[in-house]
Amino acid sequence: MVSAFPSRWKIWKNTHRDVHSLPVSGPIVRIAPDEVHILDADFWETLFSKAGRVDKYNWMSNRFGNDTSVLTTAAHDLHRVRRNALNPYFSRQRILGLQDTIRQKLSVFVNQIQENANVGAPITISRGYMAFSEDVIMHYCFGYDYDSLRKSAWTPVLHDAFAAVCIAGNMALQFPTIPKVMNALPQAWVEKLDPLYALIFRMQNDFGRQIRQMKAALPPAKSDRGVDNTNPTVIAELLQSDLPNEQKADRRLQDEVQLIVGAGLSTTGWTLSVGTYYLLSNPRILACLCKELDDAIPTSTTANTADLISNLEWTELERLPYLTAVIKEAVRLSYSTTSRNVRLLPKPVQFKEWTVPARTPISMTVPFLNHDEDIFPQSRSFVPERWLDALKTKNGSSLDKYFVGFGKGTRSCLGSNLAWCELHLGFASLFRLFDFELYETDKTDVEIAHDFFLPFAKLDSKGIRVFVKERQ
Ligand code: HEM
């Protein structure tokens, strides 16, 4: 019974808590009157993959102000309706077809880097990564984007708004009326009272406006398969799909777009940044990657950057073992989500000598697993080799069993194919074409210092800054 668990619950002492102060004693801790947290790498499968029909924790649904998105839908059945409608747009086949858009955005990015290479001043490459992933996902959702890649110093249009959503999220979770009150106020007041919320509401209003405009411009839903291939954007297709009408309501779609664009932008951009930092601070690893890329992408094609990028094929790049191992290690050390991940199972579940009753919120946390030294020895170090040669863990299991970067089970990442494709094309082109050198950047610019659902480094970080030279 839950009441028999060690009674060590505590309400978060503040909403900007430092992750180092989280209670870490296990393997099972009752962290709130009704919730237990489990620290056991092998229980991950039981909770996320094998459980089948799982609900999320309703209490956590509205901290980002989009409680009807797939990520925040608590009930299993409703989640399936919403998720099934999105799955086709993010299948492997669809993402293979999206490569031209990704390559085109990558060309703009590479041209911008080349211009800076000739100037000799440092660039904030992490901003560039956010702009790249933002332009790709916006373009795929709406058929246009804010062209953030061409903005001076890649000043972001959306990245800061999504960072604001995350930062405000802990407060909104504990005090849900705050965002509601803010939302009811005139925008000008919000701008003065809390610039964070002003950014969030501006972004939400903008998405809402775009959805209404697309609805007005589109013909009514088709009666056959429901997909209009002449207009291949996620939102246009969703509007024409056979998703029930109430699921196509303006506000519902606004919630969904906020999630898809936010998830598509922040996570991929952060993983590229973390990977770049670790590559540049490990010359041996960087040399291994460059050697593999040099062999795979012959010199003749690098003479013309446009040719090099247009010849990049995800299906070929994913067969490069070292590049793929670098990406896995970058995903591991960028954690994807840092908050505890909660599930409610329909039946009682056994964990060691404890029986957890059905529908008890049970949570696990990605960074704890990613730093389990039995699974990932020297877990704080960037070691791509750990993913090579089908290595086994101490207990004889395949290491891939513990790769939880994109989640597991019914609630796993919708955009993992897109993320893999962007990561393969992004790392391959940049590290084939350029030599980078870190500028006033250290581990504190990538190490997790704050848990705002997504990992945040120290708040005064200036990002990953580099000098860049074209490779000979
Ligand atoms: C390196 C990049 C990425 C990582 C590490 C990542 C990781 C994750 C993880 C761990 C989850 C599960 C969260 C949970 O259980 O609460 C998730 C969910 C999700 N991700 Fe990603 N993601 C990445 C890129 C993307 C991209 C490019 C998209 C764009 C479509 C995306 C869209 C989503 C969505 C919509 C969900 C919610 C799925 C659902 O609840 O059904 N992600 N992601």
| Secondary structure (DSSP) of 396-412 | S-BGGGG--TT--GGGS
**Closest C-alpha to ligand 1, atom 40:** 71
* C-alpha 137 – ligand 1 centre gap (Å): 13
Residue with tokens 């509205």: 62
C-alpha 172: how far from chain center: 21
Kindly state the tokens that stand for 65: 């102000």
Do residues 306 and 107 touch, judged by C-beta distance below 8 A? yes
In this structure, are strands 465-470 and 434-438 parallel, antiparallel, or unpaired? antiparallel
CA atoms of 408 and 52, how far apart (whole Å): 11
Phi, psi of 350 (to 5 degrees): -95, 125
Cβ of 426 closer than 6 Å to ligand 1, yes or no, is no
Within-domain flag for 11 = no
Question: Which portions of the chain are predicted below pLDDT 70?
Answer: 1-26, 219-231, 300-303, 390
pLDDT reported for residue 338: 93
Distance CA 380, CA 146 (A): 36
Q: Would you say residue 315 lies in a domain?
A: yes
Check if 271 has its Cβ closer than 6 Å to any atom of ligand 1.
yes
Report the C-alpha gap between 17 and 253 in whole angstroms.
32
Is residue 423 included in any domain, yes or no? yes
**Residue 366 within a domain:** no
* Contacts with 218 (C-beta within 8 Å, 6 or more apart), sequence order: 231, 236, 239, 240
Determine if residue 409 is left, alpha or beta; phi over 0 gives left, psi from -120 to 50 gives alpha, anything else beta. left
Cα R_g (the chain), whole angstroms? 22
Task: For residues 204 and 211, give the distance between their C-alpha atoms in angstroms, rounded to a whole number.
Answer: 11
Q: Is residue 371 in some structural domain?
A: no
Instruction: Check if the beta carbon of residue 31 is closer than 8 Å to that of residue 359.
Output: no
Which CATH number does the domain housing residue 330 bear? 1.10.630.10
ipTM: 0.98
CA 311 to chain centre: 27
Q: Is the CB of 264 under 6 A from ligand 1?
A: yes
Residue 28: in which H helix or E strand, if any? strand 28-32
pLDDT score at 300: 64
Q: How many CB atoms lie within 10 A of CB 92?
A: 14
Q: Is residue 230 part of a domain?
A: yes
Give CA–CA dist 226/237, Å, rounded: 7
- State how far the alpha carbon of 296 is from the alpha carbons of 284, 320, 396, in Å: 19, 8, 33
**Exposure of 299 by Cβ count < 10 A (0-12 exposed, 13-18 middle, 19+ buried)?**
exposed
| Residue written as token pair 């000008």 | 188
Query: What does the block give as tokens for 235?
Result: 């939102």
- Res 181: pLDDT: 82
Find out whether the beta carbon of 411 lies less than 6 Å from any atom of ligand 1. yes
Looking at ligand 1, which atom is closest to the CA of residue 407? 10
Range of the domain at 75: 64-336+404-470
Query: Is residue 50 domain-resident?
Result: no
Structure tokens at 290: 């460059």
Pocket residue to mutate for ligand 1, from 413, 423, 448, most atoms within 8 A of Cβ = 413
Extended beta strands in 307-460, E state: 341-343, 349-351, 354-356, 362-364, 434-438, 450-452, 454-456
434-438 and 349-351 as β-strands: parallel, antiparallel, unpaired? unpaired
Any domain includes 373: no
Q: What is the pLDDT of residue 25?
A: 59
Per-residue burial over 63-77, b if 16 or more Cβ lie within 10 Å, else e, is: bbbbbbbbbbbbebe
Residues marked as binding for heme?
413
CA of 411 to the centre of ligand 1 (A): 9
First to last CA, the chain: 65
State how many domains the chain has.
1
Q: Is 414 in the pocket of ligand 1 (CB under 6 A)?
A: yes
Calpha distance 324→455 (Å, rounded): 22
| Residue from 467, 464, 430 nearest 122 by CA | 467
How far apart, in whole angstroms, are the C-alpha atoms of residue 465 and residue 107? Answer: 20
C-alpha to C-alpha distance for 25 and 28, rounded to whole angstroms: 8
